[in-house]
Amino acid sequence: MSGDSVVPMTRRGVYLPIGALLLGMLLAALDQTIVATALPTIVSDLGGMDHLSWVVTAYLLAVTAATPLWGKLGDQYGRKRLFQSAILIFLVGSALCGVAQNMPQLIGFRAVQGLGGGGLITLSMAIVGDLVPPRERGRFQGLFGAVFGTTSVLGPLLGGFFTEQLNWRWVFYINLPIGALALVVIALALHIPAGGYAHRIDYLGTLLIASAATCVVLVTSLGGTTWDWNSAQVYGLAVLAAVLVVAFVLVERRAVEPVLPMSLFAVRNFTLCAAISFVIGFAMFGAMTYLPTFLQVVHGVSPTMSGVHMLPMVLGVIAASTVSGQLITHTGHWKFFPVVGTGVTTGGLLLLHRLAPDSSQLEMSAYFAVFGIGLGLVLQVLVLVAQNAVRYADLGVATSGVTFFRSIGASVGVAVFGAIFASRLGGKLADALRGQPLPAGVSADSLKHNPQSVSRLPAGARRGVLGAYSESITDVFLFAAPLAFVAFVLTWFFVQQRLRRSVQVPDEAETLAPCPVERSSADEAARALSRLNTLEGRRDLYERITERAGMDLRPAASWMLLRVHHDGPVEPALIPDDGTIPRRVVADAARQLEERGLAEREGLQLVATARGAEAARALSDARQELLAEELGDWWGPDRPTDLTQLVRQLNEEIGRAEPPRAA
C-alpha cells in the first residue's frame, strides 16, 4: 500500500473511525473464543454431541477461505463498502445462529458468520493503512493485535457469563448492537479512497484449498462415527482431498497472484514454520474447544467458572509469547524458543491426558499453564522466522502463509479432537452403564447427546459416566502428543539466521488469531520501521544519524535542524508541549543550534544558516541511509519501487514527528 493513498486526517479525526474498526475486529475475534464455554449447554439444548466440533470448525474454515478474498476485493472495489458488507454478513449470521433450532442449522449459520468475520479481520487492519501514515501504523496495528490478546481472556469468560445468566443464544445476539454501532460510525466517519487497484484474484486456488481442507475435516470428524473408517465415503473423500491438493499446487504455480506461492516452499525455514504452525494451531484450538467441556461435565463447573479455570492457559500463552518476543528482540537469538516451546507443548499435552474427575484445581491450573507457556514460546517466533527467511517481495505472503497453515491446523485439530472424543465416548458410556439401574428416559445414547442429564443419575452410575467423559476427552490429548513431538523434532532443522533489524516481533493478530493475516510486504515493512517513531526509537535514531554525519549535537538539536531545513522557520516556543517532551529539551536544542552557528533568530523564529542547511542535508542523507540499513538485504539494487517510496516517505515523516526526549 502506498503512502500516497493515505487520507489526510487530524489525529482526533482518526480516533472515531479507528474505534469503529476496533469494534468490528472485536466482533470477529470474540466469536472465535466466546463459543467454547457455551458448547456443552448448546449441545444439551440442540443435541448432536457428535457434531459439537463443527460449531467451531465451520466458522474457522469459512474465515480461512474468505480472508484472502476480502483483502484483494477491498483493494479493487473500496474497503469501506466491503467492510460494511462484511459487518452485515456477520450480523445476519449472528442473528441466524441465535435462532437456530438444531445443530445442522447452527453449523450452517456459523459458516455465514465466518464469511463475514474474515472480512472484519482483514479489512479493519488494511483500513488503518488508509487512515494513518506509515510512521503511525505500527502503533495503531498494535491496538488491533491487542484485541486478540484481550478476547483470548474475555471470550471464555463472557461465553460462560451469557450462557449462565441469560441464555446461550446471547453469545450471538450480543454481536447485534455492537455491530450496528460500528456500521453507523463507519458510514458517518470513515472517509477513504474508493479503491481501483485491480487484482488477478485467485478464485480457483481459494476454492481448491478450501475444498481440500473441508474434505480433510469431513474425514476426520465423520470417520469412525457417522461413517466407518473402511467405508466408501471415507475413502472417497480422502482421495478427493489428495486430488484437490495436487490441483491446488498446479494452479498456484501458474496463478498471477497465488494464495500461497509454491516458491516459498523452496525456503527451508519457511517450510518448517508452516509445518510447525499447523501443529500449533491443531493443538491450541483443539484444546481450547474441549477443555471447557471437560470442566463443565466432569467437574461440574459452571460455564462462567470454566472460563475462569481456562485463564492459566490463556495467560500462559500471552505471557510466554510476550517475554519470548522481547528476549528475541534484545538478543537476536531465536532458535532456542521453538525447540523449548514445542517440547513443553508436548509435555503439556501429556499432562492434560492425566486429568481425571478427582484432579484438584491447583493440578488442573498447573497443567493448563504449562501447556499455554509451551504454545506461547512458539507462537511469536514462527511468523518472525518466516519473515526473516524470505526476500522482501515475499514478506507479505510469507506472513499470510504461516498464519494460513495455523488456521488450517486449527480447523483440522478441532475436528480431529471431536472425532476421537465422539468415537470413544459411546463405547465408554455403554461400558460404564452396563448393569446399572437408570432413571426413565436416560440411556447411554441420551447421555451422549445431553451431558446435563448426568445430574439425574444415581451416584454409582454418575461416577462411571463422569469417568467415561473424562477419559474420552483426555484421550484426545494423548493422540495429539505424537504430532507435537514431530514438531519438536522439526525445530532442530531450523537454520539459525541473523535477524534483520527490520524484522520485529509480530503483534497478536499474527500470533493469537486462528485466521490468516493478509498484509502486503510494504505494510509489514512499514509496521516494522514505524517503531522508529516511538520515543525510544527516535532518540536512538537521532543519536545514530548525528554520529554518522560526524556532528556533536544533542538528538533533539539534530531533529530541530532537520525540521527547520524541511519546513522552514520554526518558533521553538510554539512547538506543542504534550507532557512527553519537556519544554527544556526544545529550548536547549534551539540554543545549541544558535551557539554552533547552524541556526539564527529572525524575531522569535529559528532559521537555518548556510552552514546549518549543509549540516541538515548531511543529517537527512544519514537518516535515509539508516532507514535503508534497517531493511538489510531487502535494500538491494533490485529493490521494488514501493520500498524506495516507503523509506523516502518515512524519512520525511519522522523528521516532522515530535523531538526525541533525550537532550
What is the pTM for the complete model shown? Answer: 0.72
CB-based contact 342:484 (threshold 8 Å): yes
pLDDT in tens, 162-183: 888 888 899 889 889 988 888 8
Q: What is the pLDDT of residue 403?
A: 76
Residue 578 has pLDDT above 90, yes or no: no
Residue 184 has pLDDT above 70, yes or no: yes
**How many residues are recorded in the chain?**
663
Residue 96 has pLDDT above 90, yes or no: yes
CB-based contact 377:338 (threshold 8 Å): yes
Q: What is the pLDDT of residue 659?
A: 47
- Please state, in angstroms and rounded to a whole number, the distance separating the CA atoms of residues 612 and 597: 7
pLDDT in tens, 428-445: 877 777 766 767 666 666
Residue 133 located in a structural domain: yes
Residue 220 located in a structural domain: yes
Backbone angles phi, psi at 227, to 5 degrees: -120, 145
Cell of 629: 540499513
Does 322 or 579 have the greater pLDDT score? 322
Q: What is the pLDDT of residue 89?
A: 92
Assess whether 249 and 213 both reside in one domain: yes
Assess whether 638 and 557 both reside in one domain: yes
Distance of CA 21 to the CA centre of its chain: 16
Does 196 or 339 have the greater pLDDT score? 339
* Distance linking the first and last C-alpha atoms of the chain: 35
Percentage of the residues of the chain whose pLDDT score is greater than 90: 5
- Please state, in angstroms and rounded to a whole number, the distance separating the CA atoms of residues 148 and 31: 11
DSSP 3-state assignment of 26?
A: helix
Q: What is the pLDDT of residue 4?
A: 42
Assess whether 637 and 624 both reside in one domain: yes
Nearest Cα residue to 558 out of 575, 541, 572, 570: 541
Q: What is the pLDDT of residue 370?
A: 92
Kind and range of the H or E element at 601?
Answer: strand 599-602
Q: What is the pLDDT of residue 143?
A: 66
Per-residue pLDDT band at 511 (split at 50, 70, 90): very low
Q: Which of 55-59, 126-130, 152-156, 614-618 has the lowest mean pLDDT?
A: 126-130
Nearest Cα residue to 125 out of 257, 28, 223, 249: 28
Residue 510 has pLDDT above 60, yes or no: no
Residue 114 located in a structural domain: yes
Does 445 or 337 have the greater pLDDT score? 337
Does 42 or 383 have the greater pLDDT score? 42
Does 8 or 133 have the greater pLDDT score? 133
Residue 31 located in a structural domain: yes
Residue 483 located in a structural domain: yes
pLDDT in tens, 338-394: 899 999 999 999 999 898 888 888 999 999 999 889 888 887 778 778 777 777 666
Per-residue pLDDT band at 77 (split at 50, 70, 90): confident
Q: Which of 249-253, 446-450, 471-475, 639-643 has the lowest mean pLDDT?
A: 639-643
Residue 47 located in a structural domain: yes
Assess whether 190 and 334 both reside in one domain: no
Per-residue pLDDT band at 91 (split at 50, 70, 90): very high
CB-based contact 144:25 (threshold 8 Å): yes
Per-residue pLDDT band at 500 (split at 50, 70, 90): low
Mean pLDDT (whole number) for 408-430: 79
Assess whether 306 and 367 both reside in one domain: yes
Q: What is the pLDDT of residue 190?
A: 72
Residue 528 located in a structural domain: no
- What residues make up the domain containing 21? 1-201
Per-residue pLDDT band at 139 (split at 50, 70, 90): low
Assess whether 48 and 169 both reside in one domain: yes
Calculate Rg over the CA atoms of the chain. Answer: 27
Residue 661 located in a structural domain: no
Assess whether 276 and 224 both reside in one domain: no
pLDDT in tens, 589-618: 788 888 888 877 877 777 888 887 888 888
**Summary mean pLDDT of the chain:** 76
Q: What is the pLDDT of residue 8?
A: 46
Assess whether 207 and 196 both reside in one domain: no
Long-range contacts of 196-200 (CB under 8 A, 24+ apart): 196/76, 196/78, 197/75, 197/76, 198/76, 199/72, 199/73, 199/75, 199/76, 199/257, 200/255, 200/256, 200/257
Q: Which of 86-90, 347-351, 470-474, 624-628 has the lowest mean pLDDT?
A: 624-628
DSSP string, 120-136: HHHHHHHHHHHHS-HHH
Per-residue pLDDT band at 1 (split at 50, 70, 90): very low
- Please state, in angstroms and rounded to a whole number, the distance separating the CA atoms of residues 318 and 312: 10
Mean pLDDT (whole number) for 183-204: 72
CATH number at residue 577: 1.10.10.10
Domain count across the chain: 4
Mean pLDDT (whole number) for 472-484: 86
Residue 449 has pLDDT above 50, yes or no: yes
CATH number at residue 182: 1.20.1250.20
DSSP 3-state assignment of 369?
A: helix
Q: Point out the domain boundary residue: 494, 523, 543.
A: 494
Nearest Cα residue to 278 out of 371, 410, 384: 410
Does 520 or 168 have the greater pLDDT score? 168
Residue 534 has pLDDT above 60, yes or no: no
DSSP 8-state symbol, 102: S
CB-based contact 600:591 (threshold 8 Å): no
Q: What is the pLDDT of residue 641?
A: 64
- Please state, in angstroms and rounded to a whole number, the distance separating the CA atoms of residues 305 and 290: 15
Assess whether 130 and 226 both reside in one domain: no
Assess whether 66 and 104 both reside in one domain: yes
Mean pLDDT (whole number) for 576-589: 65
pLDDT in tens, 544-575: 778 887 888 888 787 788 777 777 777 776 66
Assess whether 444 and 546 both reside in one domain: no
Q: Which of 127-131, 379-383, 464-468 has the lowest mean pLDDT?
A: 127-131
Does 326 or 341 have the greater pLDDT score? 341
Per-residue pLDDT band at 535 (split at 50, 70, 90): very low
Q: What is the pLDDT of residue 524?
A: 59
pLDDT in tens, 265-275: 888 888 898 88
Residue 639 has pLDDT above 80, yes or no: no
- Please state, in angstroms and rounded to a whole number, the distance separating the CA atoms of residues 221 and 409: 14
**Angstrom distances, CA of residue 31 to CA of 170, 183, 276:** 12, 18, 25
Residue 204, judged by CB atoms within 10 A of its CB (0-12, 13-18, 19+), counts as middle
Assess whether 234 and 371 both reside in one domain: no
